[in-house]
Amino acid sequence: MKKYLYDLFIEHSIVNIFWKNFHKVDDGVYRSAQMNPYTLKRYIKKYNLKTIISFRQDIDVSPLSVMEKKICDEMGVEFLRVGLTSRRLPNKDTLLKLKENLENAQKPILMHCKAGADRTSLASFLYLYWKGDIKKAKKQFSFWKFGHIKPSKAGIIDYCAEEFLKSGESDVIRWCEHNRERIQKEFKPKSIWNFINDRLLNRE
């Protein structure tokens, strides 16, 4: 219980009690922030979820993540993990794993990170891009809808997406592999937004 309360209050997950950041990405595909156990059970039932994909790095130590896996096991929901970070771009192996999970997971799917604003935005973009819905994919990094803060360090993910789309290339994994280091050197975040994203919101 102490670990759960720590996660809830110190790690700012209490925000997710009031702001679930839940949205429909596509038919049978949803995105959200990390949900508390009560809300997760309710959404599994309401949307008949078959798969949950977590993009959190600390899944083995976060009390909410540990409880989430337990709930999935109890309710017959497949629980998958693809560890992403919003401060650096994923490598080839991570992108291949993400693509495989998104293509093969049983729907309805719920995918999330901690706040549902950064890593989940990247995964939603890639899902829709791989499906061929580029117009909709471009909208997955919205601040007003999803809370993604583009001028912060987390903005590197949609900067990368923009550069890829401008390149005219079709293979996003190969393009990212060849341009990953360049993009990370080029992107310049703003200090004030880093403070808000990292310190005030305490995002991963």
Give pTM, 2 decimals.
Answer: 0.88
Q: Which of 130, 128, 124, 119 is nearest to 84 (CA)?
A: 119
Identify the residue with better confidence: 37 or 95: 95
Residue 57 to residues 34, 70, 82, 135, Cα–Cα distance (Å): 12, 17, 8, 29
pLDDT in tens, 124-175: 999 999 999 999 999 999 989 998 888 888 889 999 999 999 999 999 999 9
pLDDT in tens, 6-20: 555 555 555 656 678
State the Cα–Cα distance between residues 43 and 49, nearest whole angstrom. 8
